[in-house]
A and B are shown apart, each in its own frame.
Chain A
Amino acid sequence: MFCDVCKTKEATVFLTQIVEGKMQKVNLCESCSKEKGVNDPTGFALADLLLGLGAAQEIDKNPAGGRCPVCGFSQVDFKKTGRLGCSACYDAFAEGLTGMLKNMHRGLVHAGKVPAKLAVERRRTQELVRLEEGLARAIADEHFEEAAGLRDKIRHLTTEKAVPDEVNRMAAISDKMEASASPASKAGKKS
């Protein structure tokens, strides 16, 4: 098999990438692969020079002259180095990065390990969201017994690591609930 670029030498480097759902293959000889910067561990040069979709092109989707507000890294720097300046660059250049990440990876959402510190916080946030939705539904449906249970769970979760604002807010909700529950028969449980 011959090299796709020079078409004279035997291809020894075989690249395959999925680009927008379509498979693209490029076969290169040793010297063309070096010249095209396939050695470049980023794979940018690859996308850029061979597949024509281009990291450079993707990153240009960001407003021209864009800079990361945190570290001052610019789009030009990114095009030049294939590296980002800091964590905040991922948000600063999000628009251009998304297309690039889509081409590079198997998805756009991390599915692996989460630092334990964050994992606890993450689970709690998710649980709170779930409980609050349940609470809102329960109040709307006037299922006050269920609402009281949910309220207690929320209160428990939020006071676990004292979040004063949240505790105050929950107290206000429970006052309101009691007020609206008292005329009803036995639903409102004193807390």
Chain B
Amino acid sequence: MKLSRIIANTGEWLSGSGPHDQIVVSSRVRLARNLKGKPFPGWAKKSERVAVLEEIRGAVEQLPEMEESFSEKLEDLSPLEKQVLVERHLISREHAAKSAGSAVVMNTAQTLSFMINEEDHLRMQAIRAGLQLDEVFAMINQADSELEESLDFAFHDDLGYLTACPTNVGTGMRASAMLHLPGLVMSEQVNKIINSVNKIGLAVRGLHGEGTEAMGNLFQVSNQTTLGEAEEEIIGRLNKVISQILEHEQNARQILLQRRAETLLDQIGRAYGILCHAHSVTSKEALNLLSFIKMGVDLGLFPAKNRLQVDELFIETQPAHLQKGLQTTKLGAEERDSLRAALIRAKLKQMPEPEIGKIPTGSATTLPSEES
């Protein structure tokens, strides 16, 4: 199957639904595995990497869940195609930088993806919409159990699964959830939350993981440690923390509605105004403003049927996605910004203006008089 056919559709994690999917954008679990007796990719010779690639790729393609899948060597993907996969969180930025000796295999639903010869011989992930860490773990655990029938993974009696980097040794698992937290950001509570999450050995990061900025009020929460706890314990801990953050975000939104409804409406209205009329928007600005539109949908200011449209814009306005339909050479930043603005204008035109009368607030005094 061709990549263009796969990326023509948005992945299940974006278009699908799941518990608490208004705030929890997606849940993801990845497992790191290496073949027994083979040097790790970073230290292996090219011929060794190619041999590992062939062995793992064959096994992955045989999996029943990968019957409808896309499989390609990284050297055969264009930089733009790789970037599209990064923006969809289907491969890592590190993997996109690889060429000969690396490959990616993913299913058409884009819920499962296998990176071969990233930092480890195999990094496999499952990703779905909403808060479903248990479900995505079950999916990827199943794939792992099937793979270990034909592949011998490096496993140490004390240390568990061995990985190129000691930070992943043990379970080799990184479980994460992408959270949309405009309420906590607006009420300036988010740093406090990040601090306390960090204290208990979990990490909070920006949109694209390690070392990236939090844009569009999107935050990734993930486990930091991999050794000494079972997979289920780690996920249990994460679930508990995410449920708490979720509650804090809901509370923050309620408090904003009650005490600062005017500010909230102003932000959403301004975001809508700018996006409807701007002719040049950077991807950072787009994400930050779309975040307010998304919250507007959550609060009932925009029709629920426009939700997917808004969610898709988060991805469709990313640099590589903007250019994916075009056969031209790579666009410059300015051209991208105007293309992005045009795309957003077109999409928002299909959406009515925010209905401020619909805002579910008790303090009518702060609302304009036209409220019925």
Contacts and interface: CB of A to CB of B under 8 A. Distances in A.
A85 B40 contact: yes
B12 interface: no
A42 B169 CA distance: 12
Interface string A41-85: 111100000000000000000000000000101000100011111
Contacts of A107: 227-229
28 contacts: A1-B191, A14-B198, A16-B198, A38-B211, A43-B167, A73-B39, A77-B43, A82-B165, A83-B40, A83-B165, A86-B39, A86-B43, A87-B37, A90-B159, A90-B162, A97-B166, A105-B225, A108-B158, A108-B227, A110-B156, A110-B161, A112-B160, A112-B230, A113-B231, A115-B148, A116-B149, A118-B155, A122-B157
A139 B136 CA distance: 52
B11 to A, nearest CB: 24
Interface in B282-321: none
Contacts of B159: 90, 101, 108-110
Given A73-B43, A85-B40, A112-B230, A39 B195 contact: no
A14 B39 contact: no
Nearest to B33: A115
A112 B195 contact: no
Contacts of A108: 158-159, 227-228
A12 B144 CA distance: 37
B230 to A, nearest CB: 4
Nearest to B141: A113
Given A84-B165, A110-B159, A118-B155, A105 B40 contact: no
Nearest to A33: B211
Given A14-B198, A116-B148, A87 B162 contact: yes
Interface extent on A, as a size class? 35 or more
The prevalent SS among residues of B at the interface is loop
Contact of A39 (B153, B154, B166, B210): B210
A173 interface: no
Interface in A90-125: 90, 97, 100-101, 104-118, 122
Interface in B191-234: 191, 194-195, 198-199, 201, 210-211, 213, 225-231, 233
Interface extent on B, as a size class? 35 or more
B43 A83 contact: yes
B40 A101 contact: no
B102 interface: no
A118 B225 CA distance: 24
B199 A87 contact: no
Interface of A: 1, 12, 14-16, 18, 23, 30, 33-34, 38-44, 71, 73, 77, 81-87, 90, 97, 100-101, 104-118, 122
Interface in B24-41: 34, 36-40
B228 A100 contact: no
A14 B43 contact: no
A110 B158 contact: yes
Contact of B119 (A83, A104, A112, A114): A83
B211 A104 contact: no
B171 A112 contact: yes
Contacts of B153: 115
B170 interface: yes
A107 B228 CA distance: 4
A108 to B, nearest CB: 7
A14 B119 CA distance: 26
